[in-house]
Amino acid sequence: MTAGQPQSIHLQTAGPPTSDTRIWIGPGLLAEAGRRLFSPSGRFLLVSPPSASDPAAAIRLALGDRLIADIALDDREESKNFQTVLGIADRALGAGLRRDDAFVAVGGGVTSDVTGFAAAILLRGVAWNAVPTTTGAMADAAIGGKTGVDHPAGKNLLGAFHPPRVVLIDPRAASSLPERDFRAGLVEAFKAAWIADVALSRRATDSLDRILAREEEALLDLLAGAARVKASIVASDPQDRGRRRLLNFGHTLGHAVEAAGGFRTLRHGEAVAWGILAALEVSKRRCGLPDPDAEGIRADLARLGPFPEPERDPRELEPYLARDKKATVKGIAAVLLESVGRARVVESVPASEWLAAAAIMSLK
Amino acid sequence: MTAGQPQSIHLQTAGPPTSDTRIWIGPGLLAEAGRRLFSPSGRFLLVSPPSASDPAAAIRLALGDRLIADIALDDREESKNFQTVLGIADRALGAGLRRDDAFVAVGGGVTSDVTGFAAAILLRGVAWNAVPTTTGAMADAAIGGKTGVDHPAGKNLLGAFHPPRVVLIDPRAASSLPERDFRAGLVEAFKAAWIADVALSRRATDSLDRILAREEEALLDLLAGAARVKASIVASDPQDRGRRRLLNFGHTLGHAVEAAGGFRTLRHGEAVAWGILAALEVSKRRCGLPDPDAEGIRADLARLGPFPEPERDPRELEPYLARDKKATVKGIAAVLLESVGRARVVESVPASEWLAAAAIMSLK
């Protein structure tokens, strides 16, 4: 089982912050980890949750005795906190971590967020690699350098910009992913198409049955397309001051419903799906998003769903909106759609408008 | 009480990582904090320990109702840990911290290290200002962007590069500093002269009595000179890969004796003094440091001391040397002197050589 000719994206930014990330995409890449992953010293520290045991075994095999630590991670959303980062730090320092060693995060978004953050603050920064094993992490979380953990006051409130040096996207790494996680992660992949690539969006809609059946070619087209959208946007705005905020489409209300559910009711991708449904309502009012475009997105989301009902009570949601990292003294910056493939940032949409959209958003 | 015409240094690096720090130096600057400190939103969060209550009061007065949080810090070395950073994070998020707000750290090196680290990881990075109140922080800790906390395995093993936007050096902020801290901090200021500015070193030796009597003009000359040395070296190597390592003169064995004493026996500057004494021995052997140069440094240190006896037992010191952040698979990079004002990095001096120097280093 070899990778044949994998696709490759080089994500490089002059900064601040600087990025120099090589993204490899192709079936069978796990077996090539030994020559694809990056470490200045040649030594690696593996971090992986139980749910990624198969791909982690492949990485372990590929790295052999170049592995100086093998760290088990509890990757539930409620464990995405400072204490978990400290646990990785303890293990890494106990194994004699040096500045020229590198981490390998094998898992979903929580694994790459937490491992990347540990890599960012250990010895003031060591290199890391991402091997995403969920559709959400392949399309989104592993690319772009945002790392971090949650705080009781909100999601990702503690973190760092610290891009991985290599991202290895092998769709086979997601082959044993539970159906619900598989579908939730695809929301992020579709999101990339909706904000910036109308052709990708059409292809993905047309092949959605084959994608849901996990047919390799259709899945690869969507994941690679999403990775290209994300890399291109990140490259144009590494520090999340402008264009990069487009990637937050669906995330303003999405974060709020996810937090209001205590990070247990909804998967991240499911929360983003609800956030997108709310953003469609605001987009129609503020950006003239045509009804057929909104209906097309809603129809795709319905095929990816159903998703559990979110919290809609304004009293529950409002405190989380106020804590949004995109909130400044001026209000919350909103990502809205003008049409499929064309997103833009509208400064300071008041929280009340999001809460009104939350009351009426619907998958049907 | 006004500042007259303060000196100013602009420390700017293209990265990685990028720096854009304005350093103001002059007596009476505390009163001008309202127009000297930086915050995109105009809002500030003050962090200060009880020992800095007088300068903190001056900052509080200068900022008035632009202060949205007033956070008390336990700045003992044993509290320089992740939990203390989390405490600041809790308070800041509880006060409604936004991305465009800024911290003000008023205190010594622990205060700026911990506050800068909190600023680095809150919302993936907010701005901060440093108002050093100790001689050590004025000469060294507040400048250059290294932030972080200790770990049971060693000093500063968790941290980030996150330079303050403004550093306000007002020697009057150190006027109530206890004698022992005042003297220990001056070791870092002399260190700057010894590695890179022989003229400054001569002036400081000549005026050492007046510096120890805290005469404003003599003290300001040494502190401003040290700040200029540090800023110039940091600008030439922001990421600590090359020339910046010169600033670690005295820190290899210094960190080890400080850690072996549990961070209680010795002040940081006192540990660095012992580290410099050890480095003089290694420098004489490896770099031909002339005896008169070594004796001159030793004489200055003797006038700054006496310092408590350090741990010298190789079995106690060796584990800490092995954990040094500057250790790679090749060994520990050593900063040595060729002559006063000329330092260089010698790659991979074995730990055994440092341990031998520790056995014979002496202040007399």
What pLDDT digit, counting tens, does each position of A139-169 carry? 987 788 899 999 988 888 999 999 999 999 9
The two tokens of residue B259 are 């850690």
Q: Specify the pLDDT at position A206.
A: 98
3-state secondary structure of B127: strand
Give the minimum alpha-carbon distance from A236 to chain B in angstroms, rounded to a whole number.
Answer: 17
Which among A122, A123, A150, A323 is the top mutation candidate for probing chain B, defined by the most B β-carbons within 10 Å of its own β-carbon? A123
Dihedral angle, C-alpha A295, A296, A298, A301, nearest 10 °: 170
User: Of B253, B75, B96, nearest to B181 (Cα)?
Assistant: B75
| Fold of the domain spanning B189-360 | Dehydroquinate synthase-like, alpha domain (1.20.1090)
Q: Which residues of A touch B17 (CB under 8 A)?
A: 15-18
Burial of B355 (0-12, 13-18, 19+ CB in 10 A): buried
- Pick the residue from chain B with its C-alpha nearest to A122: B158
Do the Cβ atoms of B158 and A89 come within 8 Å?
yes
Q: What is the pairing mode between strands A327-328 and A146-151?
A: unpaired
Is B7-177 CATH 2.40.50.840? no
- How would residue B11 be classed by pLDDT, with cut points 50, 70 and 90? confident
**Closest Cβ–Cβ partner in B16, B98, B327 for A328:** B98
User: Of A200, A218, A73, A91, nearest to A133 (Cα)?
Assistant: A73
DSSP output for B226-286: HHHHHHHHHHH-TTSSSGGGGGGTTHHHHHHHHHHTTTTSS-HHHHHHHHHHHHHHHHHHH
The rounded mean pLDDT for chain B is: 92
Indicate the residue type of B230: K
Q: Specify the pLDDT at position B130.
A: 98
Q: Measured in Å, how far apart are chain B's first and last C-alpha atoms?
A: 43
Query: ipTM score here?
Result: 0.85
Mean pLDDT of A206-216: 95
Indicate the residue type of A222: L
The two tokens of residue A79 are 């464990």
- How would residue A239 be classed by pLDDT, with cut points 50, 70 and 90? low
Give the minimum alpha-carbon distance from B66 to chain A in angstroms, rounded to a whole number.
Answer: 13
Quick: pLDDT tens for B214-263. 999 999 999 999 999 999 998 888 666 778 889 999 999 998 999 898 87
DSSP label at residue A8: E
Mean pLDDT of B156-178: 94
Domain covering A7-176: architecture: 3-Layer(aba) Sandwich (3.40)
How far apart CA A332 and CA A328 sit, in angstroms, is: 7
Neighbours of A243 (CB within 10 A): 17
Mean pLDDT of B20-39: 95
Quick: pLDDT tens for B254-275. 989 998 988 789 999 999 999 9
| pLDDT more than 70, % of chain A | 95
**Which residues of A lie inside 8 Å of B (Cβ-Cβ)?**
15-18, 41, 43, 82, 86, 89-90, 93-94, 96, 98-100, 117, 120-125, 146, 148, 151, 153-154, 156-161, 240, 322-323, 325-329
Least confident of A15-19, A176-180, B277-281: A15-19
Query: ∠ CA A219-A221-A227 to the nearest 5 degrees?
Result: 100
Do the Cβ atoms of A154 and B93 come within 8 Å?
yes
Mean pLDDT of B340-357: 91
DSSP label at residue B300: H
Q: Which residues of B touch A327 (CB under 8 A)?
A: 98
**Which residues of B lie inside 8 Å of A (Cβ-Cβ)?**
15-18, 41, 43, 82, 86, 89-90, 93-94, 96, 98-100, 117, 120-125, 146, 148, 151, 153-154, 156-161, 240, 322-323, 325-329
- How would residue A237 be classed by pLDDT, with cut points 50, 70 and 90? confident
Instruction: Spell out the domain ranges in chain B.
Output: 7-177, 189-360
Q: Specify the pLDDT at position B3.
A: 45
How far apart CA A168 and CA A185 sit, in angstroms, is: 17
The residue ranges of DSSP E strands in B108-264, in sequence order, are 127-132, 146-151, 154-161, 166-169
Mean pLDDT of A323-336: 74
- How would residue B329 be classed by pLDDT, with cut points 50, 70 and 90? low
How far apart CA A102 and CA A21 sit, in angstroms, is: 14
Q: Is the pLDDT of residue A215 over 60?
A: yes
Q: Is the pLDDT of residue B21 over 50?
A: yes
Q: What is the pairing mode between strands A102-107 and A44-48?
A: parallel
Q: Is the pLDDT of residue B2 over 80?
A: no
Quick: pLDDT tens for B112-136. 999 999 999 999 999 999 999 999 9
Indicate the residue type of A97: L
Mean pLDDT of B140-168: 90
Least confident of A38-47, A95-104, A134-143, B164-173: A134-143
| Equal CATH topology for B7-177 and B189-360 | no
DSSP label at residue B122: B
- Pick the residue from chain B with its C-alpha nearest to A117: B121
| Fold of the domain spanning A238-360 | Dehydroquinate synthase-like, alpha domain (1.20.1090)
